[in-house]
């Protein structure tokens, strides 16, 4: 009769010396996997220019219509880049289609996941913000 009780207490004692599974969020942040799909960001090339050429493919593929691109020409004939590049993270579903569609590898999902905000407009990220992320 006492046997099972001791067995149970023994288990409890054993747990006390184990490493805890719970992460004390937000004091501690969880490390996400390499392939984690956070929100999109824009990349620069090695010269520091924005990689995006405003081809609109991400805008076209985006299933939740979160992306708006306004293109602009540059001084050279083959020069095209976005004047505006807006991602509405309130709409984004983190599917990563934009990253897959991009012919230039200019847009990628980062590993950030903290997106809770009190105001919606904070979630509308423009080009500068997306480049910083």
Contact residues toward another protein (CB under 8 A) are: 53-57, 60, 71-73, 77-78, 80, 103-104
Q: Is 129 annotated as a binding residue?
A: no
Min separation Cβ 66 and another protein, Å = 16
CA separation, residue 124 to residues 15, 74, 130 (Å) = 45, 26, 10
- What is the distance, to the nearest Å, from the Cα of residue 90 to the centroid of all Cα atoms in its chain? 12
Q: CA geometry: angle at 53 spanning 99 and 84, to 5°? A: 90
CB 98 within 8 A of CB 92: no
Q: Is 55 annotated as a binding residue?
A: yes
Q: Is 62 annotated as a binding residue?
A: yes
Q: Is 58 annotated as a binding residue?
A: yes
Between 55 and 131, CB nearer to another protein:
55
Between 71 and 96, CB nearer to another protein:
71
**Token code pair at residue 91:** 């709409």
Neighbours of 62 (CB within 10 A): 21
Binding residues: 52, 55, 58, 62, 92, 95, 98, 102
Feature table: binding site for [4Fe-4S] cluster: 52, 55, 58, 62, 92, 95, 98, 102
């Amino acid at each position: 009769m006492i046997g099972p009780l001791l067995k149970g207490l023994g288990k409890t004692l054993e747990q006390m010396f184990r490493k805890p599974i719970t992460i004390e969020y937000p004091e501690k942040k969880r490390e996400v996997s390499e392939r984690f799909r956070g929100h999109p960001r824009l990349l620069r090339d090695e010269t520091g220019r924005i990689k995006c050429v405003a081809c609109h493919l991400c805008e076209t593929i985006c299933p939740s219509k979160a992306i708006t691109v306004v293109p602009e020409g540059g001084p050279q004939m083959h020069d095209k880049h976005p004047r505006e590049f807006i991602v509405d993270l309130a709409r984004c579903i983190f599917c990563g289609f934009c990253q897959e569609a991009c012919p230039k590898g200019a847009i990628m999902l980062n590993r950030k996941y903290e997106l809770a905000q009190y105001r919606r407009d904070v979630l509308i990220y423009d080009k500068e913000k997306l480049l910083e992320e």
